[in-house]
Structure 1
Amino acid sequence: MAPRSVVTMAMSLLCVALSTLSPPASAYGPRNYACCVRYTRNPQDVDLIIGYVEQRAVEVCRIEAIIFYIKPNRKVCADPNAGWVKRILKQLSAKLEEMSGKRAAALGRGRSQTTSLPSSPSSNSTSSNSTRSNSTRSNSTRSNSTL
């Protein structure tokens, strides 16, 4: 045998040995995604929807879709260009804005209650300083919790 064919044979055997020793792709764990492959045509009740996710075709999946999470423990794939889907997304956005507005109002009321702490009649100068530092402390705590 010529030296060149021996080297080729050795390289081929090495490649075969390495390919049998490497784990299969399934050994790396399950895929963490399930793609929609078709759309539902049935409009869904907005009151049953508890959330949604956008599926992008530029990632792993082949079609653009809105995946609605519906009570009880169901997923529905919908065409993002369908009229009923756009209507539901608009309703969900309005509901979210309403909820965040109520939360902001509740935080605003809580802040005014904490800053109007009563001062003790014994010493006005020290009580006003301690009230000011308490309200500053509570405001800094609140701003960290809302981030």
Structure 2
Amino acid sequence: MKGRKCDDKNLLCLGSNLGKGCCTRYNRKPVPFQRIKGYRQQSTKENCHIEAIIFYTVKKNQICATHKDEWVRKTLELLSSRLKKMSKTGFAAGESGSFVRTTETFPNSTRLY
């Protein structure tokens, strides 16, 4: 399928749909929190086939996950907590150490995080 990079060795599987990558399956293996920079939510309303959380890593990889997994819920809570702390300390988006929930997409990547 054009625009799709998937194989069993990859933790990530993104298919191209209307120029935007869609998760087609989930990574069930927990990703270390310190490697996660941000995330966005994928919806079936975006013409994607599954609901997903797409985590962005510090190496600009994308990891597809489901909110049904406990590690995903815990990671989202930690990211939310970090964002609240930063807003209290006055960090601006994009400064060192900051976290931003984003809808920006990175080029499709199939490298390991």
Normalising by structure 1, we get a TM-score of: 0.48
Alignment correspondent of 1:41:
28
Q: Secondary structure at the match of 1:63?
A: coil
Identical aligned pairs, as a percentage?
39
The one-letter code of the counterpart of 1:55 is: Q
Alignment correspondent of 1:145:
none
Superposed displacement of residue 73, structure 1: 1.9
Superposed displacement of residue 46, structure 1: 1.0
Q: After the TM superposition, which parts of structure 1 deviate over 2 Å for at least 4 consecutive aligned residues? A: none
Larger gyration radius, structure 1 or structure 2: 1
Alignment correspondent of 2:79:
92
- Picking from 48, 51, 60, the partner of 1:61 is 48
Q: Secondary structure at the match of 2:21?
A: coil
Matched, 1:76 2:31: no
The one-letter code of the counterpart of 1:44 is: V
Superposed displacement of residue 75, structure 1: 0.6
Instruction: Please give the root-mean-square deviation of Cα atoms over the aligned residues, in Å.
Output: 1.6
Larger relative contact order (Cα-Cα within 8 Å, sequence gap ≥ 6): 2
* Richer in strand (by share): 2
- What stretches of structure 2 of length at least 5 have no aligned partner? 1-16, 92-113
Alignment of 1:1-147 (within 5 A): 31-103=18-90
The number of residue pairs the alignment matches comes to: 75
Normalising by structure 2, we get a TM-score of: 0.62
1:31-61 CA-to-partner distances (Å, cap 9, x unmatched) read: 3311100000110111111110100012210
* Richer in helix (by share): 1
Quote the Cα distance in structure 2 between the aligned partners of 1:78 and 1:59.
Answer: 16
Alignment correspondent of 1:141:
none
